Amino acid sequence: MDTTTAIHQRRSVKHFDPDHKMTEVEIQSLLELALLSPTSFNMQNWRFVVVTDQAKKEALRAAAWDQAQISEASILIVLCADLHAYKDGGRYWVNAPQPVQDMLVPMMDPFYKDNEGLQRDEAMRSIGIAAQTLMLTAKSMGYDSCPMIGFDPAKVAEIINLPEHHIIGMMLPIGKSLKDANARGGQLDYDEVVFTDGF
């Protein structure tokens, strides 16, 4: 499936086949492509908790107001980010030429340090980009998905043992749909959201 088709066909599916299992090869292929998603300073601050254990999915469903797609999808990915990823800048540039390392690595810490708002914004940007990569990749593999923010983040953090200085951005069930998504609710007109050279 080409990218344009995946974009047109990707929808937020709520009903998944609870008996379908994704293979380990499929899951790894999906995540390996997500790891190619861009991040600022190449810091790769996203962290992906792939939940396949049914009991854990049920616990997460309870923390998300009993939304069935969490436990019925083949896998559930909790997209998180390390807010302090910027502190270890050298490892993100080990394959870059030395002049590039010398320029970029020293910039990272002062850019993010003491700016918790920017750390959070960067985490959410990275999670959002990776989520779209995951959703389009899943669609191209014949799977559907449903990005979700409807959950208790404190309870989810407890269930997945979220480390200190990490944040949860969204949850993403992925699996085989049992029922098509509802018709699109309505797209805004192109001219209402697209502007040239400013508003």
The fourth-level CATH superfamily of domain 3-177 is NADH Oxidase (3.40.109.10)
Q: Any idea where the domains of the chain sit in the sequence?
A: 3-177
Q: In whole angstroms, what is the distance from residue 168 CA to residue 186 CA?
A: 29
Q: Which pTM was predicted?
A: 0.95
How do residues 129-171 score in pLDDT, each as one tens digit? 999 999 999 999 999 999 999 999 999 999 999 999 999 999 9
How do residues 167-184 score in pLDDT, each as one tens digit? 999 999 999 999 888 888
* Cα 81 to Cα 33, 38, 168, distances in angstroms: 17, 14, 7
What value does the mean pLDDT take over residues 49-53? 98
Is 88 a residue whose pLDDT tops 90?
no
